[in-house]
């Protein structure tokens, strides 16, 4: 009897790897004591640039409505992870900026990402994982309007 299931395509494989990495980082954040942040909030927070980012840009990057992004930012602000500050380039606009409280959360997530990538390199070989990284970085030139 033959197996009628086919191997998943590249898009699904990328999604599976991303989901596994994201789950590990989320679990590490919770284990570090940051239990008041949801995955949706973390996805928005991860897109905030070093100098701050407008809610409309966060919404576009996360592919959610501006209202949804604003709601998530409001929750993050209430929890103390972000603050809203005037945009120096446009006095009418506001930027969302990460606060010091978010630094520990980011540290926990980034440390876990490093562990996971180390496990992946051990599993498939550091050279092969580096090739995947290089290819995805090259593809970013044509796939990421926010690069």
Domain segments of the chain as ranges? 10-143
Annotation: CATH topology of 10-143? Arc Repressor Mutant, subunit A (1.10.10)
The CA distance from 69 to 48, in Å, is 12
User: What's the distance, CA 107 to chain centroid?
Assistant: 13
The 10s digit of each residue's pLDDT in 41-92 is 999 999 999 999 999 999 999 999 999 999 999 999 999 999 999 999 988 8
Inter-residue contact 29 to 109 (CB < 8 Å): yes
Question: Which residue do the tokens 């994982």 mark?
Answer: 129
Query: Both tokens of residue 18?
Result: 């991303």
């Amino acid at each position: 009897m033959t197996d009628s299931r086919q191997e998943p395509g590249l898009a699904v494989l990328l999604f599976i790897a991303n989901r596994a990495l994201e789950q590990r980082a989320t679990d590490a954040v919770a284990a570090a004591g940051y239990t008041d942040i949801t995955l949706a909030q973390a996805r928005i927070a991860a897109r905030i640039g070093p100098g701050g980012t407008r809610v409309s840009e966060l919404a576009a990057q996360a592919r959610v409505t501006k209202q949804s992004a604003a709601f998530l930012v409001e929750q993050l602000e209430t929890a103390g992870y972000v603050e809203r500050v005037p945009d120096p380039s446009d006095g009418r606009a506001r930027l969302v900026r990460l606060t010091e409280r978010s630094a520990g959360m980011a540290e926990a997530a980034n440390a876990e990402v490093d562990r996971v990538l180390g496990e992946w390199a051990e599993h498939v070989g550091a050279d092969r994982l580096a090739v995947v990284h290089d290819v995805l970085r090259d593809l970013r030139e044509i796939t990421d309007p926010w690069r």
